[in-house]
């Protein structure tokens, strides 16, 4: 790839044109990806504890809208069939893990659809040696939204790094080729749903572990899509909007979030062009930012 994304491209909003030109791709519109953001003012209590019953409502409504279904079981039945083996790829990063409440509501709906409980596993670091994941016919990808030193943003694309041979293998060039993870045999063609938890997203990182509670806010949202690139594209816009609000326009960019566009134009695993994303907002709108 000859072209380089610069600060100027972000100022002018031309990053995708740069990458598309570099790949020799046309800019003609093709199929859109749907992304649903749902928020609820009571998703967290006054102590920021997650209310599982509200999360269940949010997840159900979001997936129903994503798949144009009238009830949650029918919606999840569009994703997986009875008899399948399903891995829920979670994230255990100690400072901001995938909330168990979110894992629970997904697992509950898989069982409701007819997947046997013993054929469902929730895992992160152990996915490569986990028999359920090794034999999985479907994967659900679920993790929190946060900034990252190298990748700029840790979202659903980066969440699959544990399927890789080694993590450092995907670090060069600001994690540019994370999209390749979705082409690994253990993963390819199996991801049915991507869930980006924006209940308490992190918009900036500090200290040795890139975490400080001051840069986490109660957004009380969940973002879902069948397209991992589209869901991360919306996640990045949310992070940028929050950074713009807190730090000003000059600091809206986390470092080099280019792997999202590259996952689209180079690896072809999803859509990063906002013009080709059908973005649906549901629920609470106060402080929505995007």
Partner 1 sequence: MKIFWILLLFSMFNFAGENVKNFAQLIPKKVVDWEAVESDRSYNRKTLYDYMDGGAEVYLAFDFNQVFVRKFLGPSQNEMVLDIYDMLSSEEAFGIFSCDRQDEEIGIGQDSEYGYGLLKFWQGRYFVTITAMHEEEAAEKAILELGKIVVSHLGPAGRKPSLLKCLPEKNLKENRISFFHSNINLNNRFFIASENILHLGRKTDCVFAEYQINDTETGYLLLIQYPDEPKAKIAYESFLKSYIPEAQKTGQAHMENNKWTKAMLLKNMVAIVFEAPTEQWANEIHLSIKFFLR
Q: Does residue 22 bind partner 1 (CB under 8 A)?
A: no
For 84, the token pair is: 């399948």
CB of 130 to partner 1, least distance (A): 20
What whole-number distance in Å separates Cα of residue 285 and Cα of residue 290? 10
Kindly tell me which of 152 and 221 has the beta carbon lying closer to partner 1: 152
Q: How far is residue 8's CA from residue 251's CA, in Å, rounded to a whole number?
A: 13
What minimum distance in Å lies between the beta carbon of 233 and partner 1?
Answer: 16
Cα–Cα distance between 48 and 158 in angstroms, integer? 26
Contacts for 78 with CB less than 8 Å, ≥ 6 apart? 67, 69
Query: By CB under 8 A, is residue 209 in contact with partner 1?
Result: yes
The Cβ of residue 42 has, within 10 Å, a number of other Cβ atoms equal to 11
From 107-115, 228-236, 254-262, 273-281, span contacting partner 1 (CB under 8 A):
254-262
Distance CA 132, CA 118 (A): 9
Stretch that binds partner 1, among 24-32, 76-84, 248-256, 281-289 (CB under 8 A): 248-256
Of the two residues 81 and 213, which places its CB atom closer to partner 1 in the complex?
213
Stretch that binds partner 1, among 5-13, 65-73, 74-82, 107-115 (CB under 8 A): 5-13
Q: What angle do CA 181, 61, 100 make, to 5 degrees?
A: 55
Q: How far apart are the first and last CA of the chain?
A: 31
Which one of 50, 95, 132, 244 is in contact with partner 1 (CB under 8 A)? 95
User: Is residue 270 a contact point for partner 1 (CB under 8 A)?
Assistant: no
Question: Which structure tokens are listed for 164?
Answer: 């890789």
When asked if residue 11 is in the footprint of partner 1 (CB under 8 A), the reply is: yes
Strand 152-154, strand 191-202: pairing: unpaired
Of 255, 174, 180, 247, nearest to 215 by C-alpha is 247
Asked if 71 contacts 63 with a C-beta cutoff of 8 angstroms, the reply is no
Contact in structure between 177 and 150 (CB atoms under 8 Å): no
Identify which of residues 36 and 263 has a Cβ nearer to partner 1 in the complex.
Answer: 263
Window 118 to 157, contacts with partner 1 (CB under 8 A): 148-151, 154
Of positions 46, 70, 117, 168, contacts partner 1 by CB under 8 A: 168
Shortest separation between residue 110's beta carbon and partner 1, angstroms: 28
Which residue carries 């093709």 as its tokens? Answer: 30
**Binding-site member from 165, 214, 275, 286 for partner 1 (CB under 8 A):** 214
Q: How far apart are CA 213 and CA 202, in angstroms?
A: 8
Q: Is 167 in the site for partner 1 (CB under 8 A)?
A: yes
User: In terms of DSSP bridges, do strands 191-202 and 221-225 run parallel, antiparallel, or are they unpaired?
Assistant: antiparallel
Tell me: does residue 48 bind partner 1 (CB under 8 A). Answer: no
Min separation Cβ 282 and partner 1, Å = 32
Among 254, 264, 270, 279, binds partner 1 (CB under 8 A): 254
Rounded to a whole number of angstroms, the minimum distance from the CB of residue 31 to partner 1 is: 27
Size of the site for partner 1 (CB under 8 A): 38
Residue numbers at the binding site for partner 1 (CB under 8 A)? 4-8, 10-12, 93, 95, 148-151, 154, 167-168, 171, 173-174, 176, 205-214, 249-250, 253-256, 258
């Amino acid at each position: 790839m000859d072209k380089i994304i610069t600060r100027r491209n972000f100022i002018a909003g031309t990053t995708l044109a740069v990458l598309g030109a570099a790949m020799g791709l046309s800019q003609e519109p093709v199929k859109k990806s749907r992304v649903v953001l749902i928020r609820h003012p009571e998703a967290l209590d006054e102590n920021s504890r997650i209310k599982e019953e509200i999360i269940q409502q949010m997840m159900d409504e979001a997936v129903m809208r994503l798949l144009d279904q009238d009830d949650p079981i029918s919606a999840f039945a569009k994703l997986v069939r009875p008899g399948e083996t399903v891995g829920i790829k979670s994230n255990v990063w100690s400072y901001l893990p995938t909330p168990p409440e979110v894992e629970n509501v997904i697992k509950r709906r898989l069982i409701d659809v007819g997947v046997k409980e013993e054929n469902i596993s929730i895992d992160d670091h152990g996915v490569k040696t986990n028999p359920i994941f090794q034999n999985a016919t479907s994967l659900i990808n679920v993790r929190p939204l946060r900034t990252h030193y190298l990748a700029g943003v840790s979202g659903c694309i980066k969440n699959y790094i544990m399927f890789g041979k080694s993590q450092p293998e995907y670090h060069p060039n600001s994690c540019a080729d994370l999209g390749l993870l979705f082409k690994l045999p253990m993963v390819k063609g199996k991801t049915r749903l991507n869930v980006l938890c924006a209940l308490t997203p992190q918009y900036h990182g500090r200290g040795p572990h890139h975490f400080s509670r001051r840069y986490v806010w109660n957004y009380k949202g969940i973002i879902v899509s069948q397209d991992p690139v589209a869901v991360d594209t919306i996640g990045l816009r949310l992070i940028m909007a929050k950074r713009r609000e807190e730090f000003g326009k000059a600091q809206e960019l986390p470092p080099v979030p280019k792997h999202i566009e590259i996952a689209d134009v180079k690896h072809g695993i999803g859509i990063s062009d906002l013009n080709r994303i059908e973005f649906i907002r549901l629920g609470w709108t106060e402080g929505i930012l995007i």
